[in-house]
């Protein structure tokens, strides 16, 4: 068992109010408990959810708040009961850092659906102190909510898989959509959507990207390997593609109609919602009834699935398109992310940044 004698004071970049502006913030971590892993942060991905939280878009933000839930780091110390990790292991931490561990969901590797899950940041841990995320120099995390980064996988490549990657992988896994030969649609080509294209193609699916404009067509087909591209406002092409898809992964985090996309599904097709939308989504029931179609949703993924998607990307030699920035660029990166001005994921080089 490693031992860290240094001061547990760390520095992160935190928001103080709904402006969402991040600036240096110093706070203290808890001591490494028997089940804990003390991690030196190497890098951390930036997600749309981070913006929602720092700007209090969901009305549940607490400040000061250090965001970041796609964390890759090096193990510096382990608790006396930790058996899965060793000092110097490269590990990852995703969206949650705690749960009750005893409910049916936790006992069946579905801890992300536990009613007592604890978010990686903007939550309260079991010790009564606020959780703070990965835009900081270090973290202490319960071993159950830590995964091993495969040997040889670049840290910046692993980061996005801890949220965006597993968010796409989990519904494909759960709904039996991993077999080759399926025809799938990816609605929205952002950070999650581009992961969806990569993953679905690696599973042997025919992949159609569906977007509101034509501007990402070349990127989708020439660089990401999509087989087809539909612009949702092109009614002729949308009608031609009707009744052609086994599933659609809907990654759009904004209000949008569902009918155009339901029409693309085959009999028994599934429209799987991943984007967080605060307004009611609407559809007319015959669109579902007459094709025995399913509208469902999925929430990130389990720790087991997170490890699986990391191993899958390593095995298939897949890579994500990321832009690596330093912490002093974080506010600009958030502005750009809000405008979808990134292809396709920001990763913050925490280790190489000055605080």
Task: Please state, in angstroms and rounded to a whole number, the distance separating the CA atoms of residues 282 and 295.
Answer: 11
Backbone phi, psi, residue 18, to 5°: -65, 0
Instruction: Give the closest residue to 67 by CA, choosing from 129, 9, 140, 122.
Output: 122
What is the residue-level pLDDT of the chain in tens, covering all 355 positions? 545 545 589 999 999 999 999 999 999 999 999 999 999 999 999 998 999 999 998 889 999 999 999 999 999 999 999 999 999 999 999 999 999 999 999 999 999 999 999 999 999 999 999 999 999 999 999 999 999 999 999 999 999 999 999 999 999 999 999 999 999 999 999 889 999 999 999 999 999 999 999 999 999 999 999 999 999 999 999 999 999 999 999 999 889 999 999 999 999 999 999 998 888 999 999 999 999 999 999 999 999 999 999 999 999 999 989 999 999 999 999 999 999 899 889 999 999 998 8
% of the chain with per-residue pLDDT over 90: 91
Q: Are 228 and 250 in contact (CB under 8 A)?
A: no
Token pair belonging to 343:
């292809």
Task: Please name the residue that has the structure tokens 């159950």.
Answer: 144
pLDDT digit string, tens, across residues 146-181: 999 999 999 999 999 999 999 999 999 999 999 999
What's the CA gap between 110 and 302, in Å, rounded? Answer: 5
CATH class of residue range 9-163+320-349: alpha beta
Give pTM, 2 decimals: 0.93
Q: Decide: residue 204, CB within 10 A, 0-12 exposed, 13-18 middle, 19+ buried.
A: exposed
Which DSSP symbol is given to 329?
Answer: G
Q: How many Å apart are CA 353 and CA 331, to the nearest integer? A: 14
CATH number corresponding to 165-297:
3.40.50.720
Strand order in the sheet with 228-231: 228-231, 206-211, 183-187, 245-250, 265-273, 294-297
- Segments in the chain forming alpha helices (H): 48-54, 104-107, 155-159, 164-174, 191-202, 217-218, 235-240, 259-262, 286-289, 303-315, 330-338
Q: Contact 264/244 with Cβ under 8 angstroms?
A: yes
Give the integer Cα–Cα distance in Å for 142 and 96. 10
> How far apart, in whole angstroms, are the C-alpha atoms of residue 188 and residue 210?
6
CA distance 351 to 355: 10
What is residue 8's predicted lDDT score, i.e. its pLDDT?
85
Q: How many residues does the chain have?
A: 355
The domains of the chain are located at: 9-163+320-349, 165-297
> Residue 4: what pLDDT?
53
What pLDDT was estimated at residue 7? 59
Phi and psi at 284, nearest 5°, equal -95, 135
Please say whether the beta carbons of 309 and 161 come within 8 A. Answer: yes
Compute the half-sphere exposure of residue 152: CA atoms within 13 Å on the CB side of its CA: 7
């Amino acid at each position: 068992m490693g031992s860290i004698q240094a001061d547990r004071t760390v520095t992160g970049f935190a928001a103080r109010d709904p402006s969402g502006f991040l600036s240096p913030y110093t706070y203290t971590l808890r001591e490494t408990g028997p089940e804990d892993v003390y991690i030196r942060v190497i890098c951390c991905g930036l997600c749309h959810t981070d913006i929602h939280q720092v700007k209090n878009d969901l009305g549940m933000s607490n400040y000061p708040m250090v965001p970041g839930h796609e964390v890759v780091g090096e193990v510096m110390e382990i608790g006396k009961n930790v058996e899965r990790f060793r000092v110097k292991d490269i590990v990852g931490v995703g969206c949650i850092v705690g749960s009750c561990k005893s409910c049916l969901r936790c006992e069946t590797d579905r801890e992300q659906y536990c009613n007592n899950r604890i978010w990686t940041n903007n939550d309260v841990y079991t010790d009564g102190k606020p959780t703070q995320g990965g835009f900081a120099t270090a973290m202490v995390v319960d071993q159950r909510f830590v995964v091993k980064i495969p040997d040889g996988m670049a840290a910046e490549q692993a980061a996005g898989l801890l949220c965006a990657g597993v968010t796409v992988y989990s519904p494909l896994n759960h709904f039996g959509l991993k077999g080759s030969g399926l025809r799938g649609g990816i609605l929205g080509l952002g950070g999650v959507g581009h992961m969806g294209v990569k993953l679905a193609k690696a599973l042997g699916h025919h992949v159609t990207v569906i977007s509101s404009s034509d501007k990402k067509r070349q990127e989708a087909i020439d660089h990401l390997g999509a087989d087809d591209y539909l612009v949702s406002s092109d009614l002729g092409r949308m009608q031609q593609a009707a009744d052609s898809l086994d599933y659609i992964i809907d990654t759009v985090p904004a209000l949008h109609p569902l009918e155009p996309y339901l029409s693309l599904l085959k009999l028994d097709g599934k429209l799987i919602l991943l984007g967080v939308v605060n307004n009611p989504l609407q559809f007319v029931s015959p669109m579902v009834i007459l094709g025995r179609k399913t509208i469902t949703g999925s929430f990130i993924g389990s720790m087991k699935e997170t490890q699986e998607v990391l191993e899958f990307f390593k095995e298939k030699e897949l890579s994500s398109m990321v832009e690596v920035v330093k912490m002093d660029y974080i506010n600009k990166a958030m502005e750009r992310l809000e405008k979808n001005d990134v292809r396709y994921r920001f990763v913050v080089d925490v280790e190489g940044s000055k605080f």
